[in-house]
Amino acid sequence: MKALTVEMLFELKQKDLTFTLLSKKKGLSKEITTPELSRPGLAFAGFTDTYAYDRIQVLGETEVQYLKSLEPSTRYDKIKKLFSQFDIPCFVISKGLFPTRELVFLADEHNIPVIQSRMKTIALYHGLSNFLQDWFAPSKSIHATLVDVFGVGILVTGQSGIGKSECALELVSRGHRLISDDVVHIKKRMNVIIGDVNKQLGHFMEIRGIGLLDIETMFGIRAIRMQKRIETQVELIPWRHNMDYERIGLKERFNRILDVEIPIVYLPVSPGKSIAAIVEVIAMNHMLKVYGHNAAEIFNDRVQKEIERKNRIRTYLETDKE
């Protein structure tokens, strides 16, 4: 995760969140260290016991009206006291409001940037919050391949050379979409893991024996996707005789990725086996489970009912002394 300065926030979101800089530029190098926001109404009023000064301070109509309702000298003193006590990263003001001359003047003195936005408070709050949550989200790069199969994000993992890329290529040629091959950059948003592709490098793939392939040019725009939620992991493992593979699927297994539980399927591979068809089935099975249809459970129910029915007939016939 890169450090975020107020200047970066300002430049990245200037257009989206309609920012104008009210203060001088010298405070822009200040660093934003938390994704949370603060509404400092109570802090202005004097209650600073639990004041979250290290967050971005969002001022709406209420805060600005409160500041305006004060006598200029009281206002000056209150703001000055607050600024000399706390190291605030920056202020963002909504609705194009002007947060009084005293605030801007004192902010300049303490090198605190003051940014104005024309957006309504709630929209601005959510816009800022989304951006910050995204920026501060836990993320990392993993060695895997991510494919969108029938709209289900399937993360294919397994040791080098086991056939992750070949599996993805077969899926793409069956009409599914590649997000990233070999390296997936993953990010946690709320409780969802999003995988994306390195935007500069695009959708290339390495197939042993051929070399590099440009998937976008070869299969067209329908074969690629920029990002996708990871819903199931398929771990390819070398097929070994006598190993205990899952046969029924009543018990679901999970793998923790960035602290989120993702269902995982261990798939034994052997030469000549069509992994792509199996991965398609895994995707469809995942969807059925999401919609409440678990094949293993249903089959199990049927077997049990059948046994029960036979038992009933048998006891009936046994008591039949005709």
Partner 1 sequence: MITITVMLTNKLGIHVRPASLISKTASKYKSNFLIRKDDMEINGKSVMGIMMLGAGKDTELELFFEGVDEQEMMEEIVELFENKFGEE
Interface residue list for partner 1 (CB under 8 A): 1, 139-143, 160-161, 181-183, 185, 198, 200-201, 204-206, 212
Active site residue 247: yes
> Closer CB to partner 1, residue 43 or residue 236?
236
Catalytic residue among 25, 143, 229, 309: 143
Q: How far is the CB of 151 from partner 1 (least distance, A)?
A: 25
Active site residue 81: no
Active site residue 143: yes
Yes or no: say if 153 and 146 are a contact pair by the CB < 8 Å rule.
yes
**Is the dihedral angle over the CA atoms 73, 75, 78, 80 positive or is it negative?**
negative
> Closer CB to partner 1, residue 211 or residue 271?
211
Catalytic residue among 199, 247, 251, 256: 247
> Closer CB to partner 1, residue 96 or residue 138?
138
Cα separation, 117 vs 266, in Å, equals 51
Yes or no: say if 274 and 252 are a contact pair by the CB < 8 Å rule.
no
Q: How far is the CB of 274 from partner 1 (least distance, A)?
A: 23
Residue written as token pair 């600024």: 83
Contacts of 168 (CB under 8 A, 6+ apart): 145, 147, 156, 178, 181, 205
Q: How far is CA 51 from CA 41, 74, 94, 258, in A?
A: 10, 20, 20, 31
Distance of CA 124 to the CA centre of its chain: 21
Catalytic residue among 13, 75, 164, 176: 164
> Closer CB to partner 1, residue 227 or residue 285?
227
Q: How far is the CB of 140 from partner 1 (least distance, A)?
A: 7
SS3 readout for 178-193: EEECCEEEEEEECCEE
Active site residue 182: yes
Q: How far is the CB of 168 from partner 1 (least distance, A)?
A: 11
Active site residues: 143, 164, 182, 247
